[in-house]
Structure 1
């Protein structure tokens, strides 16, 4: 789709010092323009409209100062206006009528301001040329945004899908989710799982190619995606394909309305992976790390508890204390089965039994108390650099 570009020549010809003299008057100019546009009290929300007028005048002044640099940013703002009009079902002709009224009112305001600043007739003519070039280009950008959205382009579809994902992960109710899903052409699944992603240090950030039913948002500071029917065929392969460039953390499988909850837990697990508390060589599934997540949700409290619960190890050398702590954790994780604990530690079961007797001397009845054993396991798991599992 072709559209006229902004003619920057009139802007470049206007003296730069004039802009510096006009900017302090932007508020007064906005008030004059507002009075010219609003003929009845109920015609518009005066505060909101005045804000828009101020922004429009500032855009015009930005173009006077540096048209080549300012225009791309301003053009995108007006393309977004057109897209929003299309989404809301507004008539494009409505915008054209408003712009014609605004152009006439703006010209009257600018000429009055020029007289106040004693601008010569030649410069006033340049301002007129710049204003009409600006209005033509703005109308073209709004129309482009409108037509692109209405035509259902790939860009428009992507925006609908990103908007849907943000609705699902935000505070959108069922009606808002249904409407956003319809706009995005996304069949609402029975269950979903959110996936938190983080680029690996040795790889560039490159959004992966994913099936259309997967909702993605890589514009976020913390990229994420939403996986429909996460237990379905091919899902494991899909996630594993991301591992070379991304740390991949899958939240719990939940109903669609609880997608934000799934993402919250995925991000909790991702934070632990980035701290080295969970290995990230494979896809991290939060439900495989529930004890670790629970422990680190109360990390400060567990650290305080460690001072008293592990006090029996204080009288030992650091090497002895570490060895017995490692053995105790392995025993707790294996229900005090010396053979299984020995396999985990790569030592003979008899060595484990010898250490267990030493632990019983140190901890006494605590090792017979299920609640105290649970506390000890949580503390020891928290203190271990990378928890098992």
Structure 2
């Protein structure tokens, strides 16, 4: 409140402006308002154009209120300021709508204060006002300017918050459409791209993030689409995941673990996210080793082998049917020997070293396997199917699952 000045820089509290000061200053208001208007529009030509436009009268009222209320509150500290408050908020809203920062408006406020202070010095000399009173006036004036700026900031942030919320909503809707897959009308995607100023890329890379998660917007590239309100948080990176993008994700997702899907044509975005989410599942099952960021491209065979668990069960029953009725202990030894042979095609000595048994034991087991499986180990297609099943079983065992 201007009627009570804040402490001076030297530590001595300044006294309140006497109410008589308002009577001295009030006659100066018409010419002061005009002078401030001229100086501000000269320093900020944008405001000169606004004064000549349809909002000119409203701006003039706002300027008059901003100056008059200061004098009114000197005369009567409880003087109402509702109209002034709303006008200052409107100034802030307008700057937000115009896409500007508050620097220009704050500069205009401070320029007006300097002009008012210059006028006050002339009045002070005319009325022989004391230096202490002039200091009190200056202190109260710049406190008042802080108040005007705070009111304008409220209006500015109100618009910015609403704009950000609306834009974020549109960006999430765009992300959802891209992940919905066909048949999504291309016109709907094109309209959202235009509304959000987002360029539709030819390729995208999807990222699945382990919940709970939060994106640090200050370090995230603006062209990234993200939905962290989803129970399975995810984001879309236009184009491939370059080293620069990788470093950006490290900073934008601090302390969060994520799986990077494959870079695919934009129409295949749902697949990239599906693979990334599957990697998260396999990490949670201890099948894939955990790390802050895991790349799907490093685990394509694992993804393929474990892509359809039910189908894998059926394939395992078919391929391993010849040993299904053998006792569990012997069956496990034969399966392990068969897996090592398919992996290495090694000699009995080499396989024995890997299995921790005598080479003669390996030869004995291999004769048993050849007798049991027969042509299945000779035919390339059957042998490939068996090898795929055994590798999938080994992956399942890492996660503590029953391999069959």
TM-score (norm 2): 0.48
| Structure of greater Rg | 2
